[in-house]
Structure 1
Amino acid sequence: MASSVPELYGRIAGRFGELIHDCPQDRWEDPSPCPGWTARDVAAHVVSNHRRAVAGLDGSDYSAPGRGEDLARAWGAASGEVGAALRDPGKARALLGEEFGSLPFEEFVRRMACADTLIHGWDLARATGQDEALDPEAVAVATGILLPEDEDIRMPRAFGAKVPSARGADAQTRLLNFLGREV
């Protein structure tokens, strides 16, 4: 049975939080699989997207984490706000503007969690030498979201060219290869 958005988000966000908390302090400046980004850049990007999602509910301003900002604290606050909004039926169903694809908040978070937080969780794990395993249900959801958008996601600062998958590759490897990650 498929998980609800709050359940799925909770697992993905929980795992991303673990990766931030468990990141060796000397690895934050290590390069990530995202060209030109360090592990810190990846984490800051995901925190920023969470802040942006919450700001979309009321039109408030948001900012990316500053260079000296505690990423674990920033992540805890941002993911906590998203989780709280998902548990509020009015906020979960609130329609976000065109900038967010005119989607209800809950659907935007499902897409953001699977197409951004999940994938960048792998990037952060790879950059910092942590466990790279992804939630299998989230991989299936991300595949369903991203495969139909193949041509639309091939642009600078998004996803790179596909990498061929080996015969018999598992679902996680096929998704990551589809998104341009060498596994």
Structure 2
Amino acid sequence: MPELYERIAERFGELIRECPPGRWEDPSPCPGWTARDVVAHVISNHRRAVAGLDGSGYSAPGRGEDLSRAWDAASEEIKAALRDPVTAGALLGEEFGSLPFEEFVRRMACADTLIHGWDLARATGQDEALDSEAVAVAVDILLPEDGDIRMPQAFGAKVSSAEGADAQTRLLNFLGRRV
């Protein structure tokens, strides 16, 4: 699992570093969010997960904060926590579904970093290909939760996939993204 997270995190970091400077305020596939908003959301969720380990506070990246540096720091904290077996197995509170940290990260990596990586790529004109193993894990996690994820500020209504669509397209359509 740490290897999967590391691949997804590295790809997200590449998308941040390679974002054309003039594209940060471009709209993303997430209604009302810019490319910058997508990145700030993912960083904030990473900070929130780490804070859940010790009850400390966290904040979303500020408007002037360097998103690449903020991402590197947030993802490194997750990686460090995953390398420590005690921390990786620590139970997070009810806010996190009372899951062990490593399971929450597995879900976050799939449902947040992975999907929002596609959102960022789409918003900024970058390569939209997703890690195929991560797509398969996301499908396993998200499809059974269909009814629970259809709420405001989460995932939109499903979009029909064309016959013969690949796994990435089917997952994105399931999550309300038009590909």
Is the pair's TM-score, using the shorter chain for normalization, greater than 0.5?
A: yes
Amino acid at match of 2:76: G
Cα deviation code 1:110-129 (max 9, x no counterpart):
00000110000000000000
Shift of 1:37: 0.1
Q: How many residues align?
A: 179
Amino acid at match of 1:153: I
Query: Under a length normalisation based on structure 2, what TM-score does the superposition of the two structures give?
Result: 0.99
Amino acid at match of 1:86: L
Partner of 1:71: 67
Amino acid at match of 2:165: A
Shift of 1:28: 0.1
Separation in structure 2 between the aligned mates of residue 111 and residue 155 of structure 1, nearest angstrom: 18
Q: Does 1:111 align with 2:107?
A: yes
Partner of 1:86: 82
Amino acid at match of 2:73: A
Query: Under a length normalisation based on structure 1, what TM-score does the superposition of the two structures give?
Result: 0.97
Separation in structure 2 between the aligned mates of residue 39 and residue 164 of structure 1, nearest angstrom: 25
Q: Does 1:18 align with 2:28?
A: no
Shift of 1:55: 0.3
Cα deviation code 1:98-141 (max 9, x no counterpart):
00000000000000000110000000000000000000000000
Matches within 5 A, 1:142-157: 142-157=138-153
Separation in structure 1 between the aligned mates of residue 26 and residue 152 of structure 2, nearest angstrom: 21
- Percent of aligned pairs with the same amino acid: 85
Given candidates 155, 175, 179, the residue that maps to 1:179 is 175
Shift of 1:182: 0.3
Determine helix, strand or coil for the equivalent of 1:113: helix
Shift of 1:171: 0.2
List structure 1 segments (4+ residues) > 4 angstroms apart after TM superposition: none
Amino acid at match of 2:148: D
Separation in structure 1 between the aligned mates of residue 141 and residue 2 of structure 2, nearest angstrom: 17
Determine helix, strand or coil for the equivalent of 2:10: helix
Cα deviation code 1:18-77 (max 9, x no counterpart):
000000010000000000000000000000000000000000000000011000000000
Contiguous gaps of at least 5 residues in structure 2: none
Q: Does 1:95 align with 2:91?
A: yes
Separation in structure 1 between the aligned mates of residue 99 and residue 156 of structure 2, nearest angstrom: 25
Separation in structure 1 between the aligned mates of residue 51 and residue 72 of structure 2, nearest angstrom: 16
Separation in structure 2 between the aligned mates of residue 109 and residue 56 of structure 1, nearest angstrom: 12
Amino acid at match of 2:93: G
Shift of 1:97: 0.5
Q: Does 1:37 align with 2:33?
A: yes
